[in-house]
Amino acid sequence: MPTAPSPSGAVVADLGSHALATAEFLLGPIARVLGDAVTVVGTRPDGKEGRRVVEVDDLGRAFLRFANGASGSLEANWVATGRKMQHDFEVYGTKGALVFTQERFNELHFYDVADRQGRRGFRRIEAGPDHAPYGLFCVAPGHQLGFNDLKAIEIAGFVEAIAGKRPEPFGFGAGQRIQQLVEAIQKSAAEERWVATP
């Protein structure tokens, strides 16, 4: 039997926070949410040869309404069998579409409606030295950046922001914003209604 959504945010706070940050980076502020949170695995071993009740949700979803009129959805899932690092996004518009999955970290798929008939389809754009700062890690195309390279890029940007060489795009205020979105989704799931975001 599903339990009530966790006040901590559980899977939405853990995995969904990254999806929320990506969504607002790509499409701007989220204005309203309609959340759903489910505890799929109801009990777990307690380490003492017994079982204990799971008090957090392990599957969270939300419909999103953006301030600019766009709409979307997200899912955060601790029980998605077979997935390793599926941080994906798909954006569809009147002029084209973008598709990305972190399980294929160095690829972006782009669709352009301006392509002529018979030539339409998603094209794969592979990361390479033309996409800074890729060239600092791999000097030739066809080699992939990895997760550790991504962390080095993030830390370098953070150090440059501390040194005053660039703005910090995701500071404490942005982190607070994501926490507010997580809490709005949890409130929506608990109350089974759309919730406006701060």
Strands (E), 105-197: 107-112, 123-126, 195-196
Kindly report the length of the chain. Answer: 198
Q: Cα angle vertex 62, ends 58, 63, to 5°?
A: 165
Tell me the pLDDT of the chain averaged across its residues: 91
93 phi and psi angles, rounded to 5 deg: -140, 180
Peptide bond into 29 cis (omega under 30): no
Residue range 29-53, pLDDT digits in tens = 999 999 999 999 999 999 999 999 9
**Residue 91 CA from chain centroid, whole number:** 13
CA triplet 191, 185, 45: central angle to 5 degrees? 90
Whether residue 6 has pLDDT greater than 70: no
pLDDT tens per residue across span 149-160: 989 999 999 999
pTM: 0.86
DSSP reduced 3-state for 22: helix
Q: Which residue has the tokens 């980076």?
A: 25
pLDDT tens profile 51-93: 999 888 999 999 999 999 999 999 999 999 988 888 999 999 9
- Cβ contact 25:177 at 8 Å: no
| Domain residue spans of the chain | 10-196
Closest to 60 (Cα-Cα) out of 40, 86, 45:
40
Q: How confident is residue 4, by pLDDT bands cut at 50, 70 and 90?
A: low
Assigned fold of 10-196: Dihydrodipicolinate Reductase; domain 2 (3.30.360)
Q: What is the mean pLDDT of residues 101-108?
A: 92
